[in-house]
Chain A
């Protein structure tokens, strides 16, 4: 079956432009997570959705970052007025339900480069 799908796989943008990253979770997975990995860093938690609601937005680095999820499925992460420090690999993950016994299934990520 299809795994978590992310698009685009690569995105190069100019500083100050807005970008939208898309995540298609595994069908039926109710929980969806966004992480990012900057160069030489671990995976940094950004936001988590249970269905369409986001109980935990604590990881969003600034108000330039926002995310939404519609229909309990596709999610978009939007970064406004991109800065060079936003350059990273943005990873999306899903699981059937939040909880310890439900390991995350990750997509291959979107590599964002802000020039």
Chain B
């Protein structure tokens, strides 16, 4: 059974840092692109970043470029999101998701999310 379990969220002051983790199991982690998606309270989905199977390609939404870094450890079946210079608008539930093998960017398995709160 595919499982994605996020951790590392919490309350952090503006300008602070956090590192989110996502532990994957039930599939060959190194075979898949992985993605972070966030959802602010009561709002819609926002794509944040993704990373290729071997970590050689990474993409970021403009609003986090230069502040967030996505990475992975295929030996530990783990995905990470390092977040610096956090702002109130980064407050959201952060989901780790696996990209379906199909063409494009469909996300076929999602974790339960970890909540990041940055007070204004």
A binds B: no
